[in-house]
Amino acid sequence: MTLQSVVAAAKETAATTVARTASENDRLGRFPDEAIGALGRVGLLGMMLPRDVGGAGLGARALAEVVAALAEVDASVAMVFLMHACAAMTIAAAKRTTAIERVLGDIAAGRHLSTLAFSETGSRSHFWAPVSRASSLNGSGVRLTARKSFVTSAGHAQSYVASALAPRGVGPTDTTLYLVDARSAGVMVASPWDGLGLRANASAAVTLDGCLVPNDLHLTDDGAGFAAMLSAARRWQPSPRTSNRRASSTSARRSAKRCQTCARNSRRCRSKPTASPRGWTMSSAASNRRGI
Ligand SMILES: Cc1cc2nc3c(=O)[nH]c(=O)nc-3n(C[C@H](O)[C@H](O)[C@H](O)COP(=O)(O)OP(=O)(O)OC[C@H]3O[C@@H](n4cnc5c(N)ncnc54)[C@H](O)[C@@H]3O)c2cc1C
């Protein structure tokens, strides 16, 4: 899939399946299962995942264009898709275990919807500083107990990318990210979603009550969740800086090329090696995996 083909598929799905159900779903506060199923079938749920797990390896421009196409027809579907994309890329940035590869394969195949479960009743806007804390199960995993205040696609996603303070974390941002299987014992939608707007996106509260998360579903090392949360959220946040960053990325790549040339011919070197911003010379696959 290319940028053009995913945007065309998003517009086509928006004009047909999404448009058919948008107003009724909004009126009833009904989750757009049909629309999300259609997005999965045309490959949009995995469009940003790396190619080695079956994704299309697309980036922020594709995300912005697809979200815009969906939001013009149904803002709830766009919100569900956006939170899924953030969660999917957080999962893709994790160390690969068999369990995580299986989830990534299911997302790429359009069978798995995920979402973020960061915000808590206690942390509210400061989602990077959760009040919940995971408790260690002597090396076999952790138990999670948390009151997540807003979780888009609550009760409909197959998994939740959830944050908690690491078992032995000391500071308020010593967090770890976990992938919670929605079928785990202890996962409960705490109350129905009855918003004034975005009524069909099920952004309800979710309670995690002693959920067991095995080691192979830990998405970060203990204490590394804070950095992962900020990079996952910031990378996909639409802002004018996205286009500036792309421009500086291109010029930085060009100057890196000149540097490689000047290593053989010093008279052509006009750039300082330290001038390249961090990561510009990484391949896009490598930067995807680092979530930058
Ligand atoms: C439709 C919807 C979907 C969402 N989906 C998700 C999701 O999928 N996953 C997820 O993790 N979260 C989700 N969120 C939560 C969102 O990311 C925010 O964390 C949440 O809306 C903020 O919490 P709150 O409403 O309790 O606001 P509060 O934290 O109570 O903030 C209320 C007001 O106080 C201000 N305020 C807060 N703290 C301070 C301070 N220290 N100093 C000064 N002003 C302050 C805020 O700026 C705001 O204006 C969703 C929210 C909505 C509305």
285: amino acid identity, one letter: A
Three-state DSSP state, 7: helix
Ligand 1 within 6 A of CB of 87: no
Is pTM beyond 0.75? Reply is yes
Mean pLDDT across the stretch 53-62? 96
pLDDT value, residue 267:
41
Say yes or no: do domains 3-113 and 115-232 share a fold: no
Backbone angles phi, psi at 151, to 5 degrees: -135, 105
Q: Whose CA is nearest to atom 46 of ligand 1?
A: 125
Q: What is the pLDDT of residue 231?
A: 85
Instruction: Pick the atom of ligand 1 nearest to 203's CA.
Output: 3
- Second CATH level (architecture) for the domain 115-232: Beta Barrel (2.40)
CA angle 225, 230, 234 (to 5 degrees): 150
Mean of the per-residue pLDDT values of the chain: 84
pLDDT, residue 139, reads 84
Q: Is the CB of 92 under 6 A from ligand 1?
A: no
- At 286, the pLDDT band (50, 70, 90 cuts) reads very low
Whose CA is closest to 181, among 103, 253, 125, 237? 103
3-state DSSP assignment of residue 201: coil
Gyration radius of the chain's alpha carbons: 20
Looking from the CA of residue 119, the nearest atom of ligand 1 is 11
**Greater confidence, 268 or 47?**
47
Percent with pLDDT over 70 in the chain: 79
DSSP-derived letter for residue 53 is G
Please report, to the nearest 10 degrees, the dihedral formed by the alpha carbons of residues 246, 249, 253, 256 taken in order: 170
- Residue with the bigger pLDDT between 215 and 261: it is 215
- Is a pLDDT exceeding 90 seen at residue 268? no
Each residue of 79-125: pLDDT tens digit? 999 999 999 999 999 999 999 999 999 999 999 999 999 999 999 88
Nearest to 165 by CA among 226, 249, 88, 85: 226
CATH of the domain spanning 3-113: 1.10.540.10
Domain ranges (residues) in the chain: 3-113, 115-232
CA distances from 22 to 31, 102, 154, 196, 197 (A): 10, 32, 19, 15, 12
Is any ligand 1 atom within 6 A of the Cβ of residue 232?
Answer: no
Give yes or no for residue 192 having a pLDDT over 50.
yes
Cβ neighbourhood burial of 23 (10 Å; 0-12, 13-18, 19+)? exposed
For the stretch 126-175, pLDDT in tens is: 988 999 999 999 889 999 999 999 999 999 999 999 999 999 999 999 99
Give, for ligand 1, the residue of 31, 124, 127, 234 to mutate: max count of ligand atoms closer than 8 Å to Cβ. Answer: 124
Of the listed ranges 57-66, 201-210, 263-272, the one predicted with least confidence: 263-272
In the reported structure, the alpha carbon of residue 125 is separated from the centroid of ligand 1 by a whole-number distance in angstroms of 4
Q: For residues 156-181, b (16+ Cβ closer than 10 Å) or e, as one string?
A: bbbbbbbbbbbeebeeebbbbbbbbb
Whole-number pLDDT of residue 147:
96
- pLDDT tens string 200-255: 999 999 999 999 999 999 999 999 999 999 887 556 655 444 444 443 333 333 43
How far, in Å, from the CA of 156 to the mean position of ligand 1? 22
Nearest to 227 by CA among 190, 185, 175, 192: 175
What does the pLDDT average to over 250-262? 36
The response to whether residue 116 sits with its C-beta less than 6 Å from ligand 1 reads: yes
Q: Please give the Cα distance from 82 to 157 (Å, whole number).
A: 13
Give me the pLDDT at residue 246, please: 44
Whether ligand 1 lies within 6 angstroms of the CB of 118 is answered as: yes
Q: 120 — alpha (psi -120 to 50), left (phi > 0) or beta?
A: beta
Amino acid at 206: V
Round to whole Å and give the CA distance between 281 and 229: 23
Q: Which two tokens stand for residue 176?
A: 């770890």
